[in-house]
Homo-oligomer: A and B are copies of this chain.
Amino acid sequence: GGEPDIPVSPSPSVFRKFRVDKILREDQRNKLITVVGKFGNEAEKDAVVLVERLPLDKTFVEQALAAEDAMTKETLKNDIYSTHSVYTPRAFPDCKATMIYPATAKHIAKYSEHDAFIVRETPHLYQTVTKPCLDVNKFSVQWVHNILEKKTEADRIVFEDPDPETGFILLPDMKWNRTDLDSLYLVAIVHKHGVHSMRHLTAQHLPLLKNVLEKGKKAIKGQFGIPSSKLRIYFHYQPSYSHLHVHFTHVKFDAPGSDCLRAHTLEDVIDNLDLDSDFYSKKTLVYVVRENDELYKAYKAATYFDD
């Protein structure tokens, strides 16, 4: 965080001769920017540089903001309200930079922002565009089977119901550090094979879904003390791998993929199947694809975006 790096022994910036060729990604809200550029002439190799502002904490406010050599400039004053530009003392770093050098075209593509497009997937579009594309670009889910068979990650299991039809394994998502409860992120992977996504669910899966909901909530309450009133419980559509799994995240955590264009609460899915067993074979599902996704390419080839 904002702690002073003592002893402070920074050197003149490694970026002094860096020239920006192109912005790859810019995020005002999260205060980060990714650029590609060069340190020398045109013949020089590319460098990808990600610069991100450092987060603020209590130490920063108490030490950096109140330091003898901190400076401020009032930019607005209206009654009890005022705004100030803050010049933090040099002893405190204000950004973190990550550099990939030399960077190949592949690195540049990886760190570039990919344009997003919304697909409204009718059942017909699922059959004619999505399914053929997913069939061709199938990724192996062997790693999921390894988890279910306890060949890997067995020590990470938080809870298991071994029933082959309604059971599941609950374990921490890679994005969770397993200590900060406010950013709790667990995933329930069902034992049943062959259910590729939410699109394939029918009323026959209700015992499975209700079991995941109830036992998942109970296990998290028991092991982490977090009640269900703090849990966002949902599927992704499209999912990132084609073996049915459910996300459990803390409501305080602004989890990636919890947007209404990707997340569908498990309670909604159960409700909808209770109402109509064929709900998801009739439903139009709305989601985002990105320029580098195979699904984007498939929809583009089907002239879907030509409106």
Footprint of B on A, CB under 8 Å? 5, 8-20, 23, 26, 28-33, 35, 49, 51-58, 60-62, 65-68, 70-75, 80-88, 90, 92-103, 116-120, 227-232, 234, 251-252, 254, 258-265, 267-268, 271, 275-276, 279, 282-284, 286, 288, 305, 307
Contacts and interface: CB of A to CB of B under 8 A. Distances in A.
Top 7 nearest A-B pairs (CB, nearest first) are A260-B263, A13-B70, A10-B71, A53-B53, A85-B93, A86-B95, A94-B94
A61 B85 contact: no
A93 B100 contact: no
A58 B33 contact: yes
Contact of A29 (B10, B33, B119, B254): B254
How many protomers of this protein does the assembly include? Answer: 2
Nearest to A120: B267
Contacts of A117: 229-230, 251
Contacts of A13: 65-67, 70-72, 86
A232 B118 contact: yes
30 contacts: A10-B85, A12-B70, A13-B67, A15-B65, A16-B67, A16-B70, A17-B66, A19-B66, A26-B57, A29-B30, A30-B30, A32-B56, A35-B58, A51-B65, A53-B56, A65-B95, A82-B99, A83-B97, A83-B99, A84-B98, A86-B94, A87-B94, A117-B229, A117-B230, A118-B229, A228-B307, A232-B259, A258-B261, A265-B286, A267-B284
